[in-house]
Every structure is written in C-alpha cells, then in structure tokens.
Amino acid sequence: MSVTIRPSTDKDLVAITAIYGWNVLNGLGTFEEVPPDEAEMGRRRAAFLAKGLPYLVAEQDGVVLGYAYAGPFRLRAAYRYTVEDSVYVGPDAVGKGVGKALLSAVIEICEAQGLRQMCAVIGDSGNAASIGLHTALGFEQKGVFPDMGYKFGRWVDLVWMQRPLNGGGSREPDAPGMELRGV
C-alpha cells in the first residue's frame, strides 16, 4: 500500500480521534477503556509537539489511515534521551504496512534529533501484529509484565521492547535530549 507519511496538523485531529477511539473500543494496544474526545486528543498531541517530538499521520488519497508519535518515556531529566513510541491504524489499514511506514519515520526523526533509546510498551502478549512490527524494525523484547491491566473481562500483559538509536548507550550523548523541565 502506497501511503504518504507527514507531520500531523490540527485538521487531522478528527481522524486521529476516530482511529484511537476505534482502537480503545476494539483492541488491547491501549489500556484506556473510554475513548477521549477530540479536545483531549489535541491536548495530548500539542504536549508531544511542544517537546519537539514527531507526531505523524499516514494518508492515502487525502484519507488519514493511521498515526504514530514518540513521547517521553518518563518525565525525569535522566530520561531525556529515551522515548516511547505509539502507533495506531484504522480498521481498514490493519496489516497493510501502514504501521511499519509510520514507525520507520518516527524512528528516523528521533535518530536525527540525537535521541538514544526507543521503547515500546505493548498491550497484550498475544498482540502478534505489534510485536512483529517492532521486531521487524530492530526492537528486542526485554520483558513481559503479566496481568498489568484488566480490559474486556480479562487480565492483559504488557510486553516491553527496546531499540537503541544512534548507538544507544555505547557512548556519551551528542545532543541535548528532550526538554523535560516543568513537567
């Protein structure tokens, strides 16, 4: 599937909200149970963009098929070189390479910014699609936390995966990292 990957805009919030809402109601990739409204999704997006982090969409023929972003892993200064990725695609785009195109672009931007680690916190150890996507892009599984969330009437694991960027921890950072003060 040929898609265009580009930075998201405010005009994409309707589609982003719908895609995330579908994932909240139908999947275990997020542990939210009630889809946030467009205003909340806009606040979340703005917070990541304010830190200079990528928030991208995939579109085809003017239709947004999915989105992905990198967010701070944790809000302490020592984590300023580490991000956590998130990737969500709409139901019509599942299994068509949209997630891979999005995550590849997020990785590329984070590397260009001098970041050093990217992690994925994947809901459901049975989430073969997300685990496979991350593995294909160089992530390694670092652990499974059993029974961390309860959704759809069952306990759900978290799978932790990690991918080094720019050599990871093999040398000193050569960029300032993300601005995390004031959070």
Q: Where are the domains of the chain?
A: 4-170
What distance in Å separates the CA atoms of residue 54 and residue 170, rounded to the nearest whole number? 24
Residue 71's pLDDT is 96
State pLDDT tens for residues 98-121: 999 999 999 999 999 999 999 999
Does the pLDDT value for residue 47 go beyond 70? Answer: yes
What's the CATH number for 4-170?
3.40.630.30
CA 19 to chain centre: 13
> Rounded distance, CA 47 to CA 120, Å?
19
CA angle 109, 49, 164 (to 5 degrees): 35
Tokens 């029974």 correspond to what residue?
147
Over residues 63-77, the mean pLDDT reads: 95
* Residue-wise pLDDT tens digits, 120-179: 999 999 999 999 999 999 999 999 999 999 999 999 999 999 999 999 999 898 888 887
Please state the separation of Cα 180 from the chain's center in Å.
18
Query: Does residue 182 have a pLDDT over 60?
Result: no
Q: Tell me: pLDDT of 94 over 50.
A: yes
Name residues whose C-beta falls within 8 Å of residue 180's C-beta, 6 or more positions apart in sequence. Answer: 51, 72, 75, 76, 77, 79, 80
CA distance linking residue 131 with residue 141, whole number of Å: 8
